[in-house]
Amino acid sequence: MERYDVAIIGAGMSGIAAGIRLAHFGKKVCIFERHYASGGLNSFYAKDGRKYDVGLHAMTNFTGPGDRRAPLNRIIRQLRISREDLKLCEQRGSRVAFPGANLRFNNEFAYFESEIASVFPKQIDGFRKLVEAIRSFDDNEFNYAYRSAREMVRTCVSDPVLEDMIFCPLMYYGSSTEEDMDFGQFVIMFKSIFFEGFARPLEGIRNIIRLLLKRYRESGGIRKMNTGVAKIVTVANQVDRLILDSGEEVQADVVLSSAGLPETYALCSPQPKLEKPVSAGRLAFAETISIFKDQPKSFGWGDDTIVFFNARERFSYREASDLVDLTSGVICIPNNFQFGDEQMAEGVVRLTCLSNYDKWKSYGESEYAEQKELWRPRIWSAAKKFMPATGLGYDGACIAHDMFTPTTVERYTWRKQGAIYGAPQKSKDGTTPISNLFICGTDQGFLGIVGSMLSGIAMANTHALR
Ligand SMILES: Cc1cc2nc3c(=O)[nH]c(=O)nc-3n(C[C@H](O)[C@H](O)[C@H](O)COP(=O)(O)OP(=O)(O)OC[C@H]3O[C@@H](n4cnc5c(N)ncnc54)[C@H](O)[C@@H]3O)c2cc1C
């Protein structure tokens, strides 16, 4: 039976980052991935000859090289990759759009602060107090106690509209819990979006995945694709061996799983004894991707990179009661990053809304396809209200489109209920009741592209290198 120092379940961002770190330090490490493609929730695919990013709207946490402690710089250093090779281009500018109020922001925090002073002049002192609390929170500590972020924010900000406008982007880009979030997670997301900011490579996620895989290969890491882990067999609370989908068996001193917390426990045989049962997340999304022959600038949508919109009096972040909740969402226009002289060949508009896994799952194949066709224009109409008026006739101008639902996410990543941000319950220090089985990525609690890579690095350092 083949034996490794470390076996990693999943070739998503966290799994590959962990693998690079371990291989670099001479560990015999193998990543087992069930899909034929790497990248997990942030992969890419081809349809009708066109390449689509699965997830990428923007990479959060964009910072210059100066701040050594910034997450992006820690990743660059720990993975020994070059900033130039990431080819990151900054956003043009983004917006939180609510009925009657817009808050603009870019990668300079002072600009966001000035927007708050101008749109909510009575709240600026409270907002600055909140910023102080965020700055003084130690988010490098894994096991901080739960504290309601809503309650904490309300001690500083008394206007519920401003409160909701702050929460809307942070929840859409990184909350696995409905309506409220852990203050620690709030701090991580606030810093990653408002203190730091958005960037992406012109080529999209392909550039980053290629770079990471090259680094992993060069460090001597082994990667087995189309090779799912079917079972984690434990003896006396220790992983004894992994049984692969093919029936083959392998052994490892340490197992790092990025498959998710409930998903990993479901693989264990026998089932681990848990103090509290871990349930799969209920927050799932539907997304439409529309391709246009022309740049969005040509139809008046050239300024906004990402718009977080909400049409209700109070913003509600919870599982949709219908197939899609049209009252809030995210509009992402990948063309509107500062690519310099270059530009994407076609216009792309991505629209994301909260969705309902059970409802999509209840349909048979043809009804499912019909429902997608029904909801696509509805999502477009809901989002369009928050964009500059345009003479653009969508059906005439859109030359290609695709749409995914929570069932698509589940089908290609095996993430239960298609919950992109995983289970509400996290394993912040990565430990499980099995002594040599650890969690990395989404369900360790660090989300997004940068967050999951940081998680992979931190869990590899803590549980397999020290
Ligand atoms: C539509 C969408 C939009 C997003 N937009 C952004 C964005 O703009 N910016 C951003 O920063 N983040 C974004 N994200 C979130 C980001 O993609 C994720 O947080 C991050 O990629 C999670 O990485 P991970 O390694 O934790 O998990 P995953 O990417 O889920 O990796 C886990 C891997 O494990 C594999 N696996 C599962 N079970 C098994 C098994 N039994 N055996 C073997 N392999 C298995 C899966 O196939 C998968 O490849 C988005 C995600 C989606 C889906």
Domains in the chain: boundaries? 2-58+204-279+422-465, 103-194, 282-412
> CA-based Rg of the chain, rounded to a whole angstrom?
22
Cα distance from N-terminal residue to C-terminal residue, the chain: 26
| Ligand 1 proximity of 415 Cβ (cutoff 6 Å) | yes
% the chain with pLDDT above 90? 94
| Ligand 1 proximity of 70 Cβ (cutoff 6 Å) | no
Q: Confidence band (pLDDT; 50, 70, 90) for 18?
A: very high
| pLDDT score recorded for residue 166 | 98
pLDDT tens digits, residue range 335-379?
999 999 999 999 999 999 999 999 999 999 999 999 999 999 999
DSSP sequence for 29-41 = EEEE-SSSSSBGG
Residue 152 vs residues 115, 142, 175: alpha-carbon distances, Å: 22, 19, 16
| Ligand 1 proximity of 9 Cβ (cutoff 6 Å) | yes
Q: How far apart are CA 450 and CA 208, in angstroms?
A: 11
| Ligand 1 proximity of 42 Cβ (cutoff 6 Å) | yes
| pLDDT score recorded for residue 55 | 82
User: What are the backbone angles phi and psi of residue 385, rounded to the nearest 5°?
Assistant: -65, -20
Quick check: 34 pLDDT over 80? yes
| Ligand 1 proximity of 420 Cβ (cutoff 6 Å) | yes
pLDDT tens digits, residue range 116-131?
999 999 999 999 999 9
pLDDT tens digits, residue range 383-417?
999 999 887 767 778 999 999 999 999 999 999 99
Measured in Å, residue 312 CA sits from the centre of ligand 1 at: 30
Distant-in-sequence, close-in-space partners of 233: CB < 8 Å, separation ≥ 6: 239, 240, 241, 242, 243, 269
Pairing of strands 94-98, 306-310: parallel
Give the chain's largest Cα–Cα span: 67
Measured in Å, residue 216 CA sits from the centre of ligand 1 at: 18
Which of 61, 258, 263, 450 has most ligand 1 atoms within 8 Å of its beta carbon, as the pocket-test mutant? 258
Q: How far apart are CA 17 and CA 344, in angstroms?
A: 28
pLDDT tens digits, residue range 88-107?
999 999 999 999 999 999 99
pLDDT tens digits, residue range 304-319?
999 999 999 999 999 9
* Residue bearing the CA closest to ligand 1, atom 49: 40
| pLDDT score recorded for residue 393 | 66
% the chain with pLDDT above 70? 99
Measured in Å, residue 12 CA sits from the centre of ligand 1 at: 5
Measured in Å, residue 419 CA sits from the centre of ligand 1 at: 10
* Residue bearing the CA closest to ligand 1, atom 35: 10
Nearest alpha-carbon partner for 418 in 403, 407, 430: 407
DSSP sequence for 382-429 = HHHTTS------HHHHEEEEEEE-HHHHHHHH--GGG-TT--SS--TT
Asked whether 318 and 419 are in contact (CB, 8 A), the reply is: no
Tokens for 130, please give them.
């909140």
| pLDDT score recorded for residue 412 | 96
* Residue bearing the CA closest to ligand 1, atom 36: 10
pLDDT tens digits, residue range 64-90?
999 999 999 999 999 999 999 999 999
CB atoms within 10 A of CB 112: 23
Q: How far apart are CA 273 and CA 269, in angstroms?
A: 11
Quick check: 31 pLDDT over 70? yes
Distant-in-sequence, close-in-space partners of 438: CB < 8 Å, separation ≥ 6: 254, 255, 256, 257, 430, 431, 432, 459, 463, 464
H helix or E strand, kind and range, residue 217: helix 205-218
| Ligand 1 proximity of 350 Cβ (cutoff 6 Å) | no
Q: How far apart are CA 226 and CA 229, in angstroms?
A: 10
| pLDDT score recorded for residue 466 | 85
| Ligand 1 proximity of 229 Cβ (cutoff 6 Å) | yes
Measured in Å, residue 71 CA sits from the centre of ligand 1 at: 18
Please state, rounded to an integer, the average pLDDT across all residues of the chain. 96
| pLDDT score recorded for residue 144 | 78
* Residue bearing the CA closest to ligand 1, atom 51: 55
Which of 41, 223, 413 has most ligand 1 atoms within 8 Å of its beta carbon, as the pocket-test mutant? 41
CATH class of 2-58+204-279+422-465: alpha beta
Q: Confidence band (pLDDT; 50, 70, 90) for 136?
A: very high
* Residue bearing the CA closest to ligand 1, atom 45: 10
| Ligand 1 proximity of 287 Cβ (cutoff 6 Å) | yes
* Residue bearing the CA closest to ligand 1, atom 12: 448
Measured in Å, residue 121 CA sits from the centre of ligand 1 at: 40
| Ligand 1 proximity of 97 Cβ (cutoff 6 Å) | no
| pLDDT score recorded for residue 138 | 85
